[in-house]
Amino acid sequence: MKYSNEYKVHYYYTDYNNILKPSYAARYMQETAWYELKNQGPTPEELKEKNQAFILTKISFRYYEEIFEDDIIRVETWANPPKGLIFPRNYRIYKNNGTAAEAVSAWVLLDLKEKNILRSDTIDVEENFLRYDDEKLDFDVQKRIKMPENMNVSGEYKVKYSDIDTYFHMNNVAYIDLICDSLYTDEDIVSPDISSKKKILSLDLNYNGEARFAQIIEMKKSAALCGETRNQESFIQGRIKNSGQNCFDAKVVLTHTS
């Protein structure tokens, strides 16, 4: 069963080209799924009473059409039937009745008290636990992103108040801002009259460990042109400083347009 909401794109969700930022496309998707749970169940409050929470482990985005300020978009989300530990969830953004972006994600249900991941076939599924739809997208999450062996240190980032959610760790969409920030250099944005821009075609993101408030993420990056398309592939990895814990792996494919 699909659930959808309509939104008008705010100007402060767009970038210097007046195009909706990838992180805000993800926010619209996240907000729509949140509304679905609150309206159809299980609500966040019901999950909290059971010491449970859905945790995002992987997500993959595909972008087809640019979305601008004041565009009216419809965001649709639906869950596929779970398999083993994984609860798949899909998203689609419509603009002018066409598909502007899609995403597929993999979630696990965590017992917050015991810190155990619950298998879907062991859950006492109530009538309204989740409503499923069988439609699948024509791409899947990247189960494992193969990172290059030689990656350059590209900086550090301290997790801020504005990044964290109710679990005191960095919210899923805050990683996307961090990743997109790493795609640009000072030379890329030199003036409002810039003649070329980077267009993201796809973004694959694996969440490997949480980043909590005030922790420092060490960033590594590698980029190269790929194949005949001459698109740029960028690989970004984040690790928690001192502990060395792998926080996330990401792969972004982008192209330059005029």
Instruction: Pull the structure tokens for residue 52.
Output: 């449970």
The pairing of beta strand 152-158 with beta strand 72-79: unpaired
Q: Which of 150-154, 169-173, 189-193, 197-201 has the lowest mean pLDDT?
A: 189-193
* Global model pTM greater than 0.75: yes
pLDDT the model gives residue 77: 98
Closest CA to 66 of 201, 195, 182: 201
106 torsion bin: left (phi>0), alpha (psi -120 to 50), beta (else): beta
Please give the single-letter amino acid code of residue 154.
Answer: S
Burial 203-217 (b: 16+ CB within 10 A, else e): bbbbbeebbeeebeb
Give the DSSP H or E segment for 106.
strand 98-111
> Any idea where the domains of the chain sit in the sequence?
1-141, 142-258
Binning pLDDT at 50, 70 and 90, where does residue 166 land?
A: confident
Taking the CA atoms of residue 234, residue 240, residue 245 and residue 246 in that order, the dihedral angle to the nearest 10 degrees is -20
Q: Do domains 1-141 and 142-258 have the same CATH topology?
A: yes
Q: What is the pLDDT of residues 76-118, one digit of tens each?
A: 999 999 999 999 999 999 999 999 999 999 999 999 888 899 9
Task: Please provide the DSSP assignment of 173-230 as one string.
Answer: HHHHHHHHHTT--TTT---TT-S-EEEEEEEEEEE-S--BTT-EEEEEEEEEEETTTT
Q: Which of 65-79, 110-124, 156-170, 184-198 has the lowest mean pLDDT?
A: 184-198
The verdict on domain 142-258 having CATH code 3.10.129.10 is: yes
Residues counted in the chain: 258
Q: What is the pLDDT of residues 202-233, one digit of tens each?
A: 999 999 999 999 999 999 999 988 877 779 99
Please state the rounded mean pLDDT for residues 231-249. 96
The verdict on domain 1-141 having CATH code 3.10.129.10 is: yes
pLDDT the model gives residue 79: 95
